Amino acid sequence: PPHTPIRAAMNSIQQLRFDLNSAQDQPSDVLCGYFKNCTVDPSEEIAKRVDQLGQVFSCRFAQAVGQGCVGLGKQRFCLGVRLYYRVMEAMLKSEEKRLSDKNFSKLLNSSAFHTSLLACALEVIMATYVGSTFKNGDFGSSAFDGTSVETDLCFPWILDVFQLPAFDFYKVIESFIKAEPSLSRDMIKHLERCEHLIMEHLAWRGDSPMFELLQQSHEEGPVEQAEPPAT
């Protein structure tokens, strides 16, 4: 059959569901092992954060798409959580190998890290669904002019939902791509576009934490000699 945009989107969704079918909604035993190895066990905080962000996400999803779609928002969030735990485990395995250390207490107790990682997982889910359900005309005429409701739920929508600085989201993108080999070429391109948007625009907003870091860096002075301008 011809490879239409709708068919491509349906194939991506099918693949995503297949990939995450065997993944768990809860941290695996391996992940729990990493939590237990921490100086401060983050298990409880992680579970609480996932629960809170789930409520916020479902509420905002229903506001944007329609109150009848609360269940759909919960389904999307559930897929995002599966991906979040899976990528977290892969990242920690890779860090253990790189650093020869099993105690990631600082990282695993960072709220910015978890919120960014979950936001990135959800962005992958939401971007996969763009061009599917709501483009079939069920949700009004906008479906026919290319301005699907779901397009509005793509990046940077998730930053607003989680009140997450773009600068923090940026930090997880590269490690996320490295840790999740099943990402399609289109999805990697999408995440790259998110990176560019942050670099060129979102990270330079007045409330960005980047300015404070630049200030700190300026006060501490250069750590090493700057490279020549040509480089």
Rounded to a whole number of angstroms, the minimum distance from the CB of residue 106 to another protein is: 7
Question: Nearer Cβ to another protein, position 111 or 147?
Answer: 111
CA distances from residue 24 to 59, 60, 135, 163 in whole angstroms, order as listed: 23, 24, 30, 26
C-alpha to C-alpha distance for 31 and 157, rounded to whole angstroms: 29
Rounded to a whole number of angstroms, the minimum distance from the CB of residue 199 to another protein is: 11
Rounded to a whole number of angstroms, the minimum distance from the CB of residue 15 to another protein is: 16
CA 89 distance to own-chain centroid: 15
Question: Nearer Cβ to another protein, position 45 or 66?
Answer: 45
Question: Nearer Cβ to another protein, position 106 or 201?
Answer: 106
Rounded to a whole number of angstroms, the minimum distance from the CB of residue 136 to another protein is: 31
Phi-psi region of 208 (alpha: psi -120 to 50; beta: other; left: phi over 0): beta
Give me the residues that bind another protein (CB under 8 A), please: 91, 94-95, 98-99, 104, 106-107, 110-113, 171-172, 174-175, 177-178, 181, 183, 185, 188-189, 192, 213
Rounded to a whole number of angstroms, the minimum distance from the CB of residue 110 to another protein is: 4
C-alpha to C-alpha distance for 210 and 203, rounded to whole angstroms: 7
Written in H, E and C, the secondary structure of 71-125 is: HHHHHHHHHHHHHHHHHHHHHHHHHHHHHCCCCCHHHHCCHHHHHHHHHHHHHHH
CB 156 within 8 A of CB 27: no
Question: Nearer Cβ to another protein, position 69 or 172?
Answer: 172
